[in-house]
Amino acid sequence: MSLPGAPFLARQGRELRLDGCSLDALAREFGTPLYVYSQRAMLDAVAAYQGALAQRRHLLCYAVKANPSLGVLQTFARSGCGFDIVSAGELERVLAVGVDPARVVFSGVGKTRAEMQRALQVGVRCFNVESRPELELLSRVATDSGRLARVSLRVNPDVDAGTHPYISTGLKDNKFGIAHHQALDSYRRAAALPGLDVVGIDCHIGSQITQIEPYLDALDRLLELVEAIEREGIPIAHLDLGGGLGIQYADEVPPPADALVTQLLRRIDARGHGHRELLLEPGRSLVGNAGVLLTEVLYLKRGDAVHGSAKNFCIVDAAMNDLMRPALYQAWMGIEACVLRDSKSLVWDVVGPVCESGDWLGRERELALQQGDMLAVLSAGAYAMSMASNYNSRTRAAEVMLVNGRPVLIREREQFKDLMMREQLLSC
Ligand SMILES: *Cc1c(COP(=O)(O)O)cnc(C)c1O
């Protein structure tokens, strides 16, 4: 089976290389834990979407929350992407890299008044509105500031994306979006509100989706609605089908992005909606397989089947605060030795130093290891560094991007002074 991230990630002899660079050498040069991303892999992922969308009016909006580092945002901005944001903080990040706000859509179920004001002030392209009360507030905020908010309603199509419950968002019991049966009425209300300009419709049914059918089901539901909405005289200029396309962690075989897009376009055309602009909001599928997390083996703790447990623990210097997916979703992520050894392999639980039993990166992994070895956690470009925290007062990792095969530090490792920067000693 090929490595997730191939062909950019490959083993050459004993050495695991990303974009031709030795991961062992990068870990020793920059220290661990260390995130390493291949810019070429990101550009390749964008090109798959853009190639299939080339003949269509479209905006490919990278979902910032997957990996919001400035170097990553710059990479996508230069390759012609727009952006999907879910907070004012993400808005400031895209502005910091010089993105035109007219290429930014603002999603999220809990936008605050201050976030709306800022997004209106800079002129984002569209608000993806997720509830009736949000519609009312956005109209008021817009009117108060003398502006018009362009809106699309995020409709919950009630389709099962067949993914993990925590990352499935298109079922009727999820907190996301406006229920399908309330959508038409909500559009009537949106069209009547003075501060709003209805421009589109959107959905986002979940994440790590590995089949095309749920997308087509959601699209069908959305197009029915569009027809009903336009019959009432409310024009819908764009369709936004969200993100969610999966990547390879273990043996998943998600459809390639161009195959997904081609099938979506075919269905859109067949139903007579080919004149509409198409927006997509991929996150994971643009960055997930482009990155790895490098970590050093600190201690090997062998089990003792006679007197206790037979479990072997490999304690590494990366932890749940660096990479939360295993603790949060019981996610399985590939773990590879950066340099293969000849010695006998054993089965290890790869765990971090944080004081939580949930702090593991991988369970029951067969690896030949010695203290001081470097390991790579694969498919760690998305929802990895972006979810990192300072739990246990651990400094957050550094990030390196391989640009044309050369390492560029895009985020320094945090220092202890950063940990305490906003705090004050009691003065009494
Ligand atoms: C998270 C999110 C995305 C991106 O999802 P991926 O699974 O990373 O592609 C797109 N749109 C919205 C509204 C999101 O919340």
**What is the per-residue DSSP string for 294-353?**
EEEEEEEE---TTTS----EEEES--TTT--HHHHH-----EEESB--SSPPEEEEEE-S
List the structure tokens of 396. 């957050």
Over 60: is that where the pLDDT of 166 sits? no
CATH topology of domain 9-38+288-419: Lyase, Ornithine Decarboxylase; Chain A, domain 1 (2.40.37)
- Return the ligand 1 atom nearest residue 207 CA: 7
User: What's the Cα-to-Cα distance from 131 to each of 76, 110, 161, 185, 320, rounded to whole Å?
Assistant: 30, 9, 21, 12, 33
Q: Has residue 172 got a pLDDT over 80?
A: no
pLDDT in tens, 320-378: 999 999 999 999 999 999 999 999 999 999 999 999 889 999 999 999 999 999 999 99
> Residue 165's pLDDT is what?
63
The pLDDT value recorded for residue 176 is 83
CB 234 within 8 A of CB 198: yes
Report the nearest-CA residue for atom 13 of ligand 1: 107
Give the distance (Å) from ligand 1 centre to CA of residue 244.
6
* Best residue among 281, 285, 385, 387 to mutate for probing ligand 1, ranked by most atoms within 8 Å of CB: 281
| 284: pLDDT strictly greater than 90 | yes
In the beta sheet, which residues pair with residue 347? 366
- Going by C-alpha positions, the residue among 47, 40, 45 that lies closest to residue 18 is 40
Predicted confidence at residue 371, as pLDDT, reads 98
Segment 97-148, tens digit of pLDDT: 999 999 999 999 999 999 999 999 999 999 999 999 999 999 999 999 999 9
pLDDT greater than 60 at residue 303: yes
pLDDT of 8 above 60 = yes
User: What confidence tens digit (pLDDT) does each residue in 87-97 have?
Assistant: 999 999 999 99
The ligand 1 site (C-beta within 6 Å) comprises 63, 65-66, 84, 86, 107, 204, 207, 242-245, 281-285
Q: How far is the CA of 65 from the centre of ligand 1 (A)?
A: 8
Residue 391, pLDDT > 80, answer: yes
Distance 204 CA to ligand 1 centre (A): 7
pLDDT of residue 158: 82
Share the mean pLDDT of the chain. Answer: 96
Is it the case that residue 168 has pLDDT exceeding 70?
Answer: no
Q: Which residues are catalytic?
A: 355
351 alpha carbon – ligand 1 mean position (Å): 28
pLDDT of residue 224: 96
**Residues 36, 402 contacting (CB under 8 angstroms):** yes
Higher pLDDT, 254 or 174: 254
Beta strands, E only, 19-120: 21-22, 34-38, 58-63, 82-85, 104-106
83, 90, 107: residue to mutate for ligand 1 pocket, most atoms within 8 A of CB: 107
Residue 163 in this model has a pLDDT that exceeds 80: no
- Asked whether the predicted pLDDT for residue 154 surpasses 70, the reply is yes
Percent of the chain with pLDDT over 70: 97
Phi, psi of 374 (to 5 degrees): -105, 135
44-60 pLDDT, tens digit per residue, is 999 999 999 999 999 99
Q: Specify the pLDDT at position 339.
A: 98
Tokens of 167: 């990352």
The predicted model gives 253-264 an average pLDDT of: 97
Domain positions in the chain are 9-38+288-419, 107-282
Which architecture, in CATH terms, is 107-282?
Answer: Alpha-Beta Barrel (3.20)
